[in-house]
Structure 1
Amino acid sequence: MAMSHSFIPLVFFILLLIQAIAGIDLNWYDAHATFYGGPSGAGTMQGACGYGDLYKQGYGLANTALSTALFNNGATCGACFQLFCVNDPQWCIKGAKPITVTATNFCPPNSAQPGACNPPLKHFDLSYKMFTSIAYEKGGIIPVKYRRVSCVKQGGVRFEINGNPNFLFVLVFNVANAGDVSRVSVKGSKTGWIPMKRNFGQKWNTGVNLVGQALSFQVTTSDGKTLEFYSVSPNNWQFGQTYQSQGNF
């Protein structure tokens, strides 16, 4: 039996809708990649997203720094990308599977000379391990195809609390699906929702003193999804500690 012409567009529309809901983009885009740091990965720790020790935070060496065109002033921190090496048989590892990396740092432009991370170029400065998973070390700079993919995380969203009574400084990490956070609000057990400001990367702050109150967080990711995580930390929470929500995106 022949398939009706009206059925084909409907199936196509449903597939597009499913992809949109899941935050999946099946299109591949052109960029280039290099690497920084050595085999141990020590050189890729810390960085402009504020994650600090990437092993401790669960990101490990599957990380990348982004050029200005992709970094979006830190708003893309936490997003996940899939990449593979293309059109360079001399340096691409034949048969290598695409890699998936999380944005954890910024690759700064160099106005004094042309550079891979200068605007408007889209560029990934990968950890050594990730780069050598798809290309030979001597390749230096390689052409790649990339796309945004959903982040797969274990456990809840995590909130590392630092600062002092008059400056609450919170790192939001281990965010699933979209991965990158666009808005955060905090609520004490005696307050309403208080919007937080992006300090840098995925570190957010407020000047409201919430010591002695259980803390809840409202988090919005870049795909527009908002979740509220109640009583993430008890009223005797401490600076320097990390607390985990019961759910994730």
Structure 2
Amino acid sequence: MAKSLILCTALAACLTIAAADWSQGTATFYGGPDGSDTMGGACGYENLYNAGYGINNAALSETLFKDGASCGQCYLIICDGSRPGGQYCKHGTAITITATNLCPANYALPNGGWCGPGRPHFDMSQPAWENIGVYQAGIIPIVYQQVKCWRNGGVRFSIAGFNYFLLVNIQNLAGSGSVGAAWIKGDNTGWIQMSRNWGTNWHALSGLVGQGLSFAVTSTGGQYIQFLNVVPGWWQFGQTYNTYQNFDY
């Protein structure tokens, strides 16, 4: 018989969840009580409120981060009271976070610490973590699963770079939440495939200054959307452009 996880609410109602739907991991927190120090990070989102993600965020261990391919993905996390450390769980609670940063291995500690190779670990913003764990614990056992992201508004494109190097941070994806492939098109060009530079920054080595810009994105869920005429020809580096389209998966 398959094992199951039982989640009990404060009203003593219990929800039995098939264990096959969940993976085991651990969670710590960082960023202070207001989560302000979680802004920025290895996905390149800078201000997480402006990028559409807010305070319910986490830095993922290298195993989960996948060199930035997981940036923007959403995870449902529950403290696992059945494992050692579970006495620090806030039972009957759960939190959905967005992956916005990398928790690097610390090789001053055995096996690289909690974020070392092979360890699924979430270093969550303190406000998000305290939804499910007691502050004094510092670390708790969890179960987690990737879930669909829900976002307000459309996908956003933040432009940096210079001359023949265009660096675009793609933000606020719903659905799978993360970018699988991206293209850019100027008024005077065809579609140019972009490459992941770091995090969710994608670059094109093309002279597109002075041209209006369109984008095309395939999510990691496999959905392809063209975002046409998003950026006017008078755009400047350092600006962010919103759209009215977003992903379902």
* TM-score bracket for the superposition, by shorter chain length: 0.7 to 0.9
- CA RMSD, 1 decimal: 1.2
> 1:9-158 residue pairs with structure 2 within 5 A?
27-87=21-81, 88-95=85-92, 97-114=93-110, 115-158=113-156
Q: Distance in 2 between matches of 1:75 and 1:39?
A: 28
Q: Measure how far apart 1:237 and its partner are.
A: 1.4
Aligned residue for 2:3? none
Equivalent of 2:170 in 164, 169, 172: 172
- The 1-side partners of 2:27 and 2:222 are apart by 29
Q: Say if 2:70 and 2:178, in contact at 8 Å, map to a contact too.
A: yes
Pairing of 1:178-197 with structure 2 (within 5 A): 178-197=176-195
Structure 1 residue 200: Cα displacement: 0.5
Cα offsets for 1:222-245 (capped at 9, x unmatched): 112111111011111121111122
User: Match for 2:108: what amino acid?
Assistant: A
Secondary structure in structure 1 of the residue aligned to 2:131: helix
With the length of structure 2 as denominator, give the TM-score of the two structures. 0.87
Unaligned runs of 5+ in 2: 1-19
Pairs aligned (count): 223
Change (3 A) 1:68 1:89: closer
What do the CA deviations read for 1:141-194 (whole angstroms, capped 9, x no partner)?
Answer: 110010000110111110011111221111100001000101111000110011
* 1:90 aligned counterpart, secondary structure: helix
2:37 corresponds to which letter in structure 1? Answer: G
Alignment deviations for residues 195-231 of structure 1 (CA, whole Å, 9 cap, x no partner): 1111111111112011111111010111121111110
Structure 1 residue runs without a partner (length 5+): 1-25
Contact 2:90–2:132 under 8 Å retained in 1:
yes
- Segment drifting more, 235-244 vs 100-109: 235-244
Taking every aligned residue pair, what percent have the same amino acid on both sides?
49
Separation of aligned partners in 2, 1:156 and 1:89: 39
Moved over 2 A (4+): none
Q: How far apart are residue 39 of structure 1 and its match?
A: 0.6
Residue identity opposite 1:29 in structure 2:
S
Give, as a single letter, the amino acid of the residue that structure 2 aligns with 1:170.
Answer: V
Q: TM (normalized to structure 1)?
A: 0.87
Q: Is the 8 A contact 2:184 2:215 kept in 1?
A: yes
Name the counterpart of 2:226: 228
Taking the aligned partners of 1:104 and 1:78, their CA distance within structure 2 comes to: 6
Deviation at 1:89, TM superposition (A): 4.6
State the Cα deviation string for residues 4-28 of structure 1 (Å, max 9, x = none). Answer: xxxxxxxxxxxxxxxxxxxxxx811
The structure with the largest strand share of the pair is 2
